[in-house]
Amino acid sequence: EDQVTQSPEALRLQEGESSSLNCSYTVSGLRGLFWYRQDPGKGPEFLFTLYSAGEEKEKERLKATLTKKESFLHITAPKPEDSATYLCAVQATSGNTPLVFGKGTRLSVIA
């Protein structure tokens, strides 16, 4: 069974304090790993897709990396507006399978 585990569940940072969120996954074969940002009471917003180990993608203060077992979302010098829940999802190569989501990491950035 495909599984996604995100850690930590919650993270509190001071503004400017860089850190990383972790997404560990178990999947028979990885077609893609997806990162989303979700603000309270809103739908998730797509951030990145990573396809293969060693791949990296960046967007403003966010950088996503991928290994064969996990992905990291690095946040450099965060600002209060980066506060949100970050969701990770994977899709297996076997069949026409939908995404499997983790429970998310709730990030709070304090000014």
Partner 1 sequence: DGGITQSPKYLFRKEGQNVTLSCEQNLNHDAMYWYRQDPGQGLRLIYYSQIVNDFQKGDIAEGYSVSREKKESFPLTVTSAQKNPTAFYLCASSLGTSGSSSYNEQFFGPGTRLTVL
Residue ranges that bind partner 1, judged by CB under 8 A: 31-32, 34, 36, 41-46, 49, 51, 87, 89, 91, 95-99, 101-104
Shorter beta-carbon distance to partner 1: residue 72 or 101: 101
Q: How far is the CB of 45 from partner 1 (least distance, A)?
A: 7
Choose between 45 and 58: whose C-beta lies nearer to partner 1. Answer: 45
Pairing mode of beta strands 19-26, 70-75: antiparallel
Minimum CB distance to partner 1, residue 16 (Å): 29
Minimum separation from the CB atom of position 102 to partner 1 (A): 6
- The minimum distance between CB 43 and partner 1, in angstroms, equals 4
User: What residue type is 38 in one-letter code?
Assistant: Q
Q: Which of 47, 26, 25 is nearest to 36 (CA)?
A: 47
Cβ nearer to partner 1, comparing 14 with 98: 98
Task: Work out whether the CA dihedral 14, 17, 18, 23 comes out positive or negative.
Answer: negative
Q: Residue 12 to residues 45, 101, 105, 109, 111: CA-CA distances in angstroms? A: 21, 22, 10, 6, 11
